Structure 1
Amino acid sequence: MTELTVIDCAQPPPPPNGEGTQLVSLSAELSMLEDALTAAANIAEFLAMKSLPSDEAATQAPVAISAVLVVVTARMTHLRRVLSCEADPRELLATHNSVPENDLGDPDVHLRPWTAAQRVVHLRRLLTKAEAEAKREEPTQPSP
């Protein structure tokens, strides 16, 4: 099977430097989100079946389910931003989805954190957009 790798959004990837760059494993990230959703579903099922160990657990279950869903939603929103090149994959990097660059081989999508130059390009794009929006919002001066 061929390995799929998403390198970056704006420029060709830097050459591997042997320094052990960490990439983001999309498969591992999605697996963690799946586990969280399964946990929320299990809590909901236990609550519906009145199988929780105590009344206190039953009282806390809706809050726990809601908390898990909020975290999953936030993480998925951030993942969407990374995949659409609106955010640096480095912001997603965590122990559960970190893959050493030199340890590739599984059929997964790996997201490479942006280089400093890519971050500069992204920030310039954001600044240009913000300046254009500010200019549009300026009140027009009446003609004399």
Structure 2
Amino acid sequence: MPELTIVDCAQPPPTDGEGTECLSIASELSLIEDALSGAASLAELLATKSLGSEETAAQTPLALNSLLVLVTARMTHLRRVLSCETDPRELLATHNSVPENELGDADVRLRPWTAAQRIIHLRRLLAKAEAEAKREEPTQPSP
């Protein structure tokens, strides 16, 4: 059986107790799978004209769009978390939060960043923005 994996963007586990709740990738993907299954079911019901009333049929495309927007947003955010562009804490929710020490499954878990990791990330973003601003400054004409 595969072991529990905790991904931490190259930082050691926090020693001050911070970050004890981890983001479960399996739980997050399960939510996305459920949303896509719901969208597929709605699309099938719409295609077979099995929704009951015309009013329900008229509202179904909006419901389908809402589900797909949810999936797109969660996938985009999950990609950003997996590439260490954003703190896993921003994606953490009741459906995907698990204790770090809960063993016995083959899940991949992401530990929320420590305060120091968040500071490092913000400093990198600031340096990047300053470098971009400097490149965009108009060049002074030579005398």
Sort the TM-score into its range (normalised by shorter chain): over 0.9
Residue 80 of structure 2 corresponds to: 81
Contact 2:4–2:107 at 8 Å: present in 1 too? yes
Tell me how far apart the structure 2 counterparts of residues 23 and 16 of structure 1 sit (CA, whole Å). 15
Aligned partner of 1:100 in structure 2 is: 99
Deviation at 1:3, TM superposition (A): 1.8
Task: Say which SS state the counterpart of residue 57 (structure 1) adopts.
Answer: helix
Aligned to 1:64: 63
**3-state SS of 1:110 partner:** strand
Q: CA deviation at 1:53?
A: 2.1
Q: 2:138 — aligned with what?
A: 139
Counterpart of 1:135 in 2: which secondary structure?
Answer: helix
In the alignment, structure 1 residue 5 sits paired with structure 2 residue 5? yes
- CA apart distance, 1:117: 0.3
Residues 19 and 114 in structure 2, CA contact (< 8 A), matched pair in contact too = no
Q: Give the structure 2 partner of residue 111 of structure 1.
A: 110
Q: How does 1:41-60 map to 2 (within 5 A)?
A: 41-60=40-59
Report SS of the residue matched to 1:6: strand
TM-score normalised to structure 1 length: 0.93
The answer to whether the Cα contact below 8 Å between 1:20 and 1:100 also exists between their aligned partners in 2 is: no
CA distance in 2, matches of 1:93, 1:67: 21
Q: 1:5 and 1:129 mapped to 2: Cα distance?
A: 31
1:20 & 1:116 partners in 2: Cα distance?
Answer: 10
Would you say 1:37 and 2:16 are equivalent positions? no
TM-score of the pair, normalised by structure 2: 0.94
Count of residues in correspondence between the two structures: 143
Q: Is the 8 A contact 1:29 1:96 kept in 2?
A: yes
Residue segments in structure 1 that go unaligned for 5+ positions in a row = none
For the residues of structure 2 that align with 1:55 and 1:23, how far apart are their CA atoms? 45
Structure 1, residues 9-66: CA drift from partner, whole Å, max 9, x if none?
Answer: 142222484x782111000000000000000000000000000021111000111101
Runs of 4+ in 1 over 2 A off after TM superposition: none
Q: Following the alignment from structure 1 to structure 2, what is the Cα–Cα distance between the partners of residues 131 and 20?
A: 31
Percent identity reads 73
The superposition leaves residues 107-135 of structure 1 with CA deviations (integer Å, 9 ceiling, x where unpaired) of 10001000000000100010000000000
**Take 2:87 and 2:113, find their aligned partners in 1: how far apart are those partners?**
6
